[in-house]
Structure 1
Amino acid sequence: MFTPAFLALSLASFVTYFSVQLLTASLPLYAVRLGASDAVLGWMAGVIAIASLVARPWVGQWLDRGGSVPALMLGILAFALSAAGYWLAASVVILLVFRSLTGLGVALFTTAGQTLTVNLTPQERRGEALSLYAVWHPVALIVGPPVGVAIAGAMGYPALFAVCIAIGLLGLSLTWPLRTLRSDSTGRRPLLFNRTVWMPGIWMAFLMVPYGANIGLLAVHAARRGLANPGMAFTAMAVGLLAILLSVGRRSDRAARTAIVVPGMLIAAFGMWATAALHGWGLLVGGALSGIGLGLAQPALLALGVDLVPPEDRGSAMATLGMFLEIGIWLGAVGGGLIARSFGTGMMFGLAGVAPAAGAILAVAFTRRSQP
């Protein structure tokens, strides 16, 4: 499984994710300086979700035609260009415009990376491979947000955006060893929406509501609740995510996928409720639980979706699951922003926990109904 291509993909992914995560906690604070309200902060994550949602079906078709590596590279370039746009933005409106470019990068980069991971590994190690590939996201999340806040505080936001651009271009250069990879194509028209994976997709949407709430408003919530560096809440989330990804990947290949998905959703729910209730350093508990829940459930859901389709439909399957993922993020970010504006961020995080809890109940009910 640990082929040179997989290792090159992993290294490029870590560097790229790090360039993106530098802005996770600092960009909402920058937007507040430009006059953004809680609702607008939710839209900053929501715009990414909408742009990615719209782009993913066509990205999936491109991948099933053999375009995984070009899509990966174009996604990294979109991240770098969006950071340049943030540098030039003088208003919240312009900031939101360039967030849509980030959303295009998400659709290209994540869908291509996951599809390449599946194509590079045997079926019996699919869950493990997706978990190990996903490890690079929390590794970047551990250091990225607090480092981004520190850079912005010490040298200003223009310096932070310049660093993001430089690191993003480094990630692009690291994809060079992947240029010789070729994906098989059947010659038929690829699917735009893969209906086979609709049920795991619905579960994915429920799971990602807390993530959207975190990306949109956790930094501001943590600052208001007395956490000196709001980026530390994301670091706690990443530590929980990393720990679980390193420990349970093979287990999802040996047990039923839903046996991993359901506990993950429930833990994600408790993470939201802890974030709603606690203050100061206690917010790290909520962040860690959110990461553990996400790390358990998301790779298992992706592996479940790929299990259901033939190899030539993997791109469309990943893209369709990604569409549901973006719907969940959009609901958590935009809906969360609207709720926070009226009732406060504490109430919003409490309500966000209801979504994965409901998803767990739905998954259990569907699994029992499907059993003979």
Structure 2
Amino acid sequence: MKRPSLAIIWLTVFLDLVGFGIVVPLVPLYGREFGAKSWVLGLIIASFSAFQFICAPWWGRWSDRVGRRPVLLLSTAGAAVSYVLFALSSGLRDSALALLLLGVSRAFAGACGGNITVAQAYIADITPPAERARRMGLIGMAFGLGFIFGPILGGISLKQWGLSGPGWMAAALCTVNFLLAWFILAESRRSGPIPSVQRPHWAQYWHTLRTPRVGLLVMVFFLATFAFSCFESTLPLVVSDNFGLDLTHNGEAAATVVFLFAYCGILGALMQGMAVGRLVSRWGEVRLILVSLVCTACSLSMLPFIRGQGLLEWSVLGSSQGLGWWALLGALGLLSVGSSLTRPPLFGLLSNLTHEHEQGATFGVAQGMGSLARILGPIFATTTLHILPPLPYLVCSGLLLGTAVILGLRWAGSEPGVAPAGSR
């Protein structure tokens, strides 16, 4: 394994996610500042995932043909441009034009969002099959750390340089990312003749989803992402209602929710970076995915029923009022462990089941389905939450348990470890 290349690709993903984490939490704030109606703001937020759903398979398939390095460079450059547009939108006096540029920046960022797809294909190129799940775990760790440090840097730059600061900082990080990849990152794909795969863009989805086992794993990823996005989009509302917090006018209450997300991110990053390799060696990819789905389902079934009082403070945690907070932290811990253990073994197994010349295309379809889940999940969750608060959590829990049963039956009697590369 090429350790320098692995370190650079890890840093590439980390910086990419830091830039993403700087900007994403601020999009609703900017939309409100520019006078966006709720449906317009929803379209702007969804535009990133929508364009990533459209373009991710194309990035992956193109990296299979021309190599990982040029696609990473182009995708990173595109992300930098999108953040420049984001920064420029804050300086426009015309609110309608500012909203338009904000929407274009998010759509363009989604269209250029091929880094993760290609990084996973890069990892598959330089890693033996038995080690892929562990290396995918390191990519997941970069995800978690990026989402932790990104919002922190976004808040600092917003305070220091105003509304345009976060966009310029994210663009600067992308520029550093581009220079690292340009001067240090080597091409990972082996030279030689590449089988000509001439499929229309949308046919790549159909080809991947109908492939035995590969299609099932992609759907598992879709449902796991759908469930997590439902949780992510409604946790502030659930905590506000169940613990009596005023998130709009109470800064300490809002900080509590930020802490809860950071708590989940730190636990997830630690699990993916330190535990995935050992657990895959002991249980195999499929069993680990099953455990992760069950853990996530159990935690989701508990979360909407946990209630308490007061802010999340040491004085409260040490009293009888803190029981609800301890229960919430326990459920969130179980969810963080479960959700963090889904992606690395799943993508490791997906890589081992895919021909080496189709790694990028397959990962692109998986990422595209994940983007679709991030569009549909929040819509479903916020709609059903108003009908019956526990409903989105219970539905997602049931979906994950059903998925675990189907996956277990499909792999029953087979080895839980890695499959030979290229098997179908």
Equivalent position of 1:157 in the other structure: 163
Q: Which moved further from structure 2: 174-183 or 77-86?
A: 174-183
Q: How does 1:358-369 map to 2 (within 5 A)?
A: 358-368=402-412
Residue of 204, 214, 218 corresponding to 2:221: 204
Equivalent position of 2:317 in the other structure: none
Structure exhibiting the larger radius of gyration computed from Cα positions: 2
Equivalent position of 1:3 in the other structure: 3
SS class of match (1:135): helix
SS class of match (2:66): coil
Q: Contact 2:285/2:345 (CA < 8 Å) preserved in 1?
A: yes
Q: Contact 2:221/2:366 (CA < 8 Å) preserved in 1?
A: yes
Letter in 1 for 2:401: A
Query: 1:93–1:118: structure 2 CA closer, same or farther, 3 Å change rule?
Result: same
Equivalent position of 1:109 in the other structure: 115
Q: Contact 2:85/2:102 (CA < 8 Å) preserved in 1?
A: yes
Query: 1:5–1:271: structure 2 CA closer, same or farther, 3 Å change rule?
Result: same
Equivalent position of 2:54 in the other structure: 54
Q: Contact 1:64/1:312 (CA < 8 Å) preserved in 2?
A: yes
Letter in 2 for 1:97: V
Query: 1:105–1:119: structure 2 CA closer, same or farther, 3 Å change rule?
Result: same
Deviation at 1:326, TM superposition (A): 2.1
Residue of 266, 270, 275 corresponding to 1:239: 266
SS class of match (2:29): helix
Residue of 343, 359, 382 corresponding to 1:298: 343
Equivalent position of 1:130 in the other structure: 136
Whether 1:266 aligns to 2:273 is no
Deviation at 1:198, TM superposition (A): 0.6
Q: Which moved further from structure 2: 321-330 or 61-70?
A: 321-330
SS class of match (1:186): coil
Kindly provide the CA deviation profile for residues 93-137 of structure 1, in whole angstroms up to 9, marking residues without a partner as x.
54333222221232x101100000111111121111111222111
Equivalent position of 2:107 in the other structure: 100
Deviation at 1:305, TM superposition (A): 1.2
Distance 2:260 2:81 in 1: 27
Distance 2:103 2:389 in 1: 21
Query: 1:170–1:294: structure 2 CA closer, same or farther, 3 Å change rule?
Result: same
Over aligned residue pairs, what C-alpha RMSD do you find? 3.1
SS class of match (1:228): helix
SS class of match (1:227): helix
Kindly provide the CA deviation profile for residues 265-307 of structure 1, in whole angstroms up to 9, marking residues without a partner as x.
2323344455544575446555544432221011111112112
SS class of match (1:309): coil
TM-score (norm 2): 0.76
Deviation at 1:216, TM superposition (A): 4.6
Unmatched 5+ stretches in structure 2: 90-94, 241-245, 248-252, 313-324, 416-424
Query: 1:356–1:14: structure 2 CA closer, same or farther, 3 Å change rule?
Result: same
Q: Contact 1:210/1:332 (CA < 8 Å) preserved in 2?
A: yes
Distance 2:64 2:283 in 1: 29
Distance 2:161 2:233 in 1: 24
Equivalent position of 2:185 in the other structure: 178
Distance 1:349 1:37 in 2: 27
Deviation at 1:349, TM superposition (A): 5.0
Identity %: 19
Q: Which moved further from structure 2: 64-73 or 329-338?
A: 329-338
Residue of 314, 318, 341 corresponding to 2:363: 318
Query: 1:368–1:175: structure 2 CA closer, same or farther, 3 Å change rule?
Result: same
Judging by fraction of residues, say which structure has more helix: 1
Q: Contact 2:140/2:343 (CA < 8 Å) preserved in 1?
A: no
Query: 1:38–1:142: structure 2 CA closer, same or farther, 3 Å change rule?
Result: same
SS class of match (1:157): coil
Q: Contact 2:267/2:337 (CA < 8 Å) preserved in 1?
A: yes
Q: How many residues align?
A: 369
Distance 2:329 2:81 in 1: 32
Unmatched 5+ stretches in structure 1: none
SS class of match (1:25): helix
Q: Contact 1:25/1:146 (CA < 8 Å) preserved in 2?
A: no
Q: Contact 1:336/1:352 (CA < 8 Å) preserved in 2?
A: no
Distance 2:346 2:44 in 1: 26
Q: Contact 1:241/1:292 (CA < 8 Å) preserved in 2?
A: yes
Letter in 1 for 2:364: A
Equivalent position of 1:213 in the other structure: 230
Letter in 1 for 2:375: W
TM-score (norm 1): 0.85
Distance 1:26 1:345 in 2: 26
Letter in 2 for 1:356: L
